[in-house]
Amino acid sequence: TSSPEPTATSITASPSITASAKVSENSFVLSQTLSTDLFSIKYPKDMTVDQSNGTPPRIYKTGPTQKGQTEMYDGLILTFETASNDNKKTLSEFVKNRTETDPNHSEIIEQPTLVKLNNYTASKYRSRGQGEYDTYVIESIDKSSFIIITILAEDPTKMGFQRLSVEILNSIMLKK
């Protein structure tokens, strides 16, 4: 017999992050939409969308101390990748394989756990490479693909980037 899958919990911004942010609780208006064949997600109009040169789409916003043409040290970046599920892996199998072979992240610092993103079950893990990244993996409704969302949120000036990333993640709508 196989052991049951763990129960997923909803993600929310931690109270310490929300309390220390310089923005009011209702200041993030998610008025723009990034849409692909598999999903749509909302984000604020003051974020930039980059879908250039066939790279995975990403949305980002920089903080007041971020300098151009350098790695991100004050800002928020969300990158959206997809992977086909040709081998019919479960979410757990796919994430296990990814955490063992992902060349972008040299060290897993938080093991995968199940979370809820807008009522969809996702697997979340944290890794360290050139920065610390939270990665969320969601299986498409028809189980043909996985959506991989990688987040880098560096917030030295307390702009509320962590809370904003949670609000964006919780706006996701799967299409198939």
- pLDDT (tens digit, 0 to 9) for every residue of the chain, 176 residues total? 444 455 555 555 433 333 333 333 445 789 999 999 999 999 999 999 998 878 899 999 998 899 988 888 899 999 999 999 999 999 999 999 998 876 666 788 999 999 999 999 999 999 887 788 999 999 999 999 999 999 998 888 888 998 999 999 999 999 98
Residue indicated by tokens 């807008």: 118
Q: In this predicted structure, what is the pLDDT of residue 132? A: 86
Provide the CB-side half-sphere exposure for 2 (13 A, CA).
3
Closest CA to 55 of 75, 86, 82: 82
119: left (phi over 0), alpha (psi -120 to 50) or beta: left
Q: In this predicted structure, what is the pLDDT of residue 73? A: 87
Residue 57: exposure state from Cβ atoms within 10 A (0-12, 13-18, ≥19): middle
